[in-house]
Structures are given as C-alpha cells and as structure tokens.
Structure 1
Amino acid sequence: MKALLLLLLLSFAAVSTTQAQSTPTAAPDKSKEVLLVDAACGQCRLGLPGKSCDLAIRMNGKAYFVDGTDIDSHGDAHAKDGFCNSVRKAQVQGEVVDNRFKATYFQLLPETVTAK
C-alpha cells in the first residue's frame, strides 16, 4: 500500500514538473518583440497534417505547431469559441525551430480583438 502511494506521489510530481516546464512565462520579455498572430487548431483550422487536435499559430502566412503551451491550456478547444471552431488572435514571443514555434510567451486575446 505504501509503495502504491509513493508511486502515485512520484507520478504526480513528474507530471507537475513537466507541465511547469512546458508553460510559457506569464509576462512577455520586454527586450523582445511581441507578435500578433492567428491561433487555432492546426488540423481543424490551419490545414496542418495530423490526426489529433494540436495548437498552432499562423504568422506571415505560414502555420506552425506550437511547443511551450498546448491547446487545452486555453479553454475547451471544441467550444464555440475554441481553437477547433474558430481562429483567434494571440500575442506571442518565441522563435521557429525545426518548423515549429517554440513559445516563450503566449497570451490568447479576447474574441473582440482584431488585427490592425
């Protein structure tokens, strides 16, 4: 019984550590540009290949899957305003590495915000 409890605690700690490492910072780096991009499900809305729903952004006309945050971190992807049903605006910082956007900052904007 104690071994099972210990295993559960270690599993929880591992998941918590992994999630903490994959979450972008809460505030942008003031020394870097904040980009306004389209954000949505890569497969459902942005035409990227795959069989599951994954967060992606579109910038400069090209779509990239996002690392550093995931589709479920920003609400229900299948809700009316979710990433699988609508393209939303987001402010991001990061860089494209190996054709994926490595987010260091990701802030989903309210639906009423549009690009200028």
Structure 2
Amino acid sequence: MKKIFFLSILFVAVSCGNKNEIKQVAEISCGQCKFELDSENGCSLAVRLDGKAYFVEGFKIDDFGDAHDEHTGFCEVIRKGEVVGKIENNKFVASSINLVD
C-alpha cells in the first residue's frame, strides 16, 4: 500500500511540473521582418503562437540556414515547425524546434 501511495504522489508531482510547457505547431520567422516585432534590433528568430508573436531564446535565426535565402530564409518567408518550450518574460524559451515544411 505504501508503494502505491508513493507512486501516486510521484506521478502527480511529475505531471504538475510541466504544466507551463507548450508543444504545438507554430509559425516561425523573423520577428522584425515578418511579425512586426520591434523590441530587438536586427533580425531575430520568433514564433507566433495562437496569434501572438514572441522572440525565441535558445535558438538563433541562422540555426536553420541563411535567414535571407529567397525561398527558405526566415526574413523572407514564414515557416511552420513543432516547437516545445515555455513563455517567460514575454519570450518563448525553446527547448526544441523542428521544422515541418
């Protein structure tokens, strides 16, 4: 009985720990060029989740190729990707970004 109680407590603790984590397909692009964000200077990676754009921490705009490539660059096109992370201080702190297009 003690083992079941302990496992129940452990399960609840683990499931509560990731409540703020976001995992969804989102739009990814340059915050300044495509999402009209202006709180940073220069081109920076951003995601748009549920209609709101956030700059990304944890990944750089050129981590996925040349940001100014005519066909795939984030300063030229908006792409889609599965993102995992949290919103902290009005930024998306990404632990994973996988492009899906």
CA distance in 2, matches of 1:96, 1:33: 8
Instruction: Give CA deviations for 1:51-92 in whole Å, capped at 9, x if unaligned.
Output: 300000000110000001110100000001210000000101
Provide runs of 4+ in structure 1 moved above 6 Å. Answer: none
CA distance in 2, matches of 1:89, 1:34: 13
Give the TM-score normalised by the residue count of structure 1: 0.65
Cα distance, 1:109 vs structure 2: 1.9
Matches within 5 A, 1:84-99: 84-99=75-90
CA distance in 2, matches of 1:52, 1:103: 20
Matches within 5 A, 1:13-32: none
Cα distance, 1:44 vs structure 2: 0.3
Unmatched runs of 5 consecutive residues or more in structure 2:
1-20
Unmatched runs of 5 consecutive residues or more in structure 1:
1-31, 111-116
Q: 1:43 aligns with which of 25, 32, 35?
A: 32
Q: Which has the higher strand share?
A: 2
Cα-Cα RMSD = 1.3
Give the TM-score normalised by the residue count of structure 2: 0.74
**Larger Cα Rg: Structure 1 or Structure 2?**
2
Instruction: Indicate whether 1:82 and 2:84 are aligned.
Output: no
Q: Percent identity?
A: 42
Cα distance, 1:108 vs structure 2: 1.6
CA distance in 2, matches of 1:34, 1:94: 7
